[in-house]
Amino acid sequence: MIHSWQTGLFTRLASRRQSLPHALLLHGRAGLGKTDFAMALAQSLLCDAPLENGEACGQCPACGWFAAGNHPDFRWVSLQEEDATDEDVASDAKGKKPPTQIGVDAIRALSGFMTTSTHRQGMRIVVIAPADALNVNAANALLKTLEEPLPGTLMMLVSDEPGRLPATIRSRCQNVRFDLPPAAEAEAWLSRAGVEQASLFLALAGGAPLEAQRLATQDAGLRPALLRMLSNPEASLVQLSEQAIKMATPEWIGWLQRWAHDLVEQKLVGQIRYHLDFTEALGRMAQKADLFDLLSWERQLREARRLAQHPLNARLFAESLLLPVLAMR
């Protein structure tokens, strides 16, 4: 699917079908539709009769196979489930780790595909998303492929955090950067998609339309409930943490990070960026909060988000991250 803010970029790349490099790195923040774009470009490059604007026709046999997920000259590599090791079982009784990386087997599995001739005498295309989830061995295996590019083959790596990819891989790809669309365009798109309070959710998503749409769909009152408690001196630490852990860990930490960021910005420049529906409470708390404490809370939250996928004791973990708020109310 090509989103309205991507059409210019899409036409530019699709019109270069004869002269594309052998590897593209599609990068930019989450929620801009990079993977959708990669899939649309792949379909277009494999299509038997692409339209004038470069889009796939959607009618030919190649488009049919692509839509059904079985085009013989296309591979899609993504996160895979892994069996948990003994060490992990204690923290996750289900015995399966949630997929967090792309292992070497997924890249090795491409080798047969890469070396046999294409089925349809056209291009051969691989999309790897999220490419920053490649583990070390997988990245090394991929590097070999990138070092000896095969004619007619296009690898598309998609990443929200290209800095996590080895420099050796980045240097072998041509960069395609996805920027935030203008706010007015993004808001119009969200309204068409049926999102109410489009400007609020766009702000919460830092300007990324698909992320805004996701937040609007999953919001369900949990965010405002937590934020009302944050700013209410009557709410206890226990109540706060119980409210927080009704959400997934990265989710509630993300709201607190935005809250902390807003407090810092309110203190320094008198305005906020994210929680536009809590302007008054943020203004009040920013007056009471100490800037040094705020910055150290921001750092604490950043580290917690990076490290804690599955805290052993979710409530204690939440309490430790929420404690600094009590002094700001």
Which of 9, 20, 30, 57 is close enough to bind Zn ion by CB under 5 A?
A: 57
Report in angstroms how near the CB of residue 119 gets to Zn ion at its nearest. 15
Stretch that binds Zn ion, among 54-62, 76-84, 109-117, 253-261 (CB under 5 A): 54-62
Q: Which alpha helices (DSSP H) does the chain contain, by range?
A: 7-14, 34-46, 61-68, 86-89, 104-108, 110-115, 136-147, 167-170, 183-192, 198-204, 209-218, 222-230, 237-244, 249-269, 279-288, 291-307, 314-326
Minimum CB distance to Zn ion smaller for 64 or for 98:
64
The reply to whether 222 sits near Zn ion by the rule CB under 5 A is no
1 contacts: CB under 8 Å, gap ≥ 6:
33, 36, 39, 40
The site string for Zn ion over 238-277 (x = CB under 5 A, - otherwise) reads ----------------------------------------
Report in angstroms how near the CB of residue 54 gets to Zn ion at its nearest. 12
Minimum CB distance to Zn ion smaller for 120 or for 284:
120
Quick one: which of 273, 328, 251, 252 has its CA closest to 296? 328
Stretch that binds Zn ion, among 61-69, 88-96, 218-226, 270-278 (CB under 5 A): 61-69
Cβ-contact 319, 241 below 8 angstroms: yes
Report in angstroms how near the CB of residue 66 gets to Zn ion at its nearest. 8
Cβ-contact 294, 267 below 8 angstroms: yes
157 backbone dihedrals φ, ψ, rounded to 5°: -100, 130
Which of 9, 20, 30, 60 is close enough to bind Zn ion by CB under 5 A?
A: 60
Stretch that binds Zn ion, among 62-70, 94-102, 286-294, 318-326 (CB under 5 A): 62-70
Report in angstroms how near the CB of residue 8 gets to Zn ion at its nearest. 22
Stretch that binds Zn ion, among 50-58, 132-140, 181-189, 277-285 (CB under 5 A): 50-58
Distances (CA, A) of 23 to 18, 56, 76, 169: 14, 20, 14, 10
Report in angstroms how near the CB of residue 22 gets to Zn ion at its nearest. 23
153 backbone dihedrals φ, ψ, rounded to 5°: -115, 135
Residue 105's Cβ-count burial label (10 Å; 0-12, 13-18, 19+) is exposed
The reply to whether 47 sits near Zn ion by the rule CB under 5 A is yes
Quick one: which of 188, 191, 259, 190 has its CA closest to 223? 259
The site string for Zn ion over 85-124 (x = CB under 5 A, - otherwise) reads ----------------------------------------
Rounded Cα distance, 148 and 150, in Å: 6
Report in angstroms how near the CB of residue 12 gets to Zn ion at its nearest. 20
The reply to whether 63 sits near Zn ion by the rule CB under 5 A is yes
The contact set with Zn ion (CB under 5 A) reads 47, 56-57, 60, 63
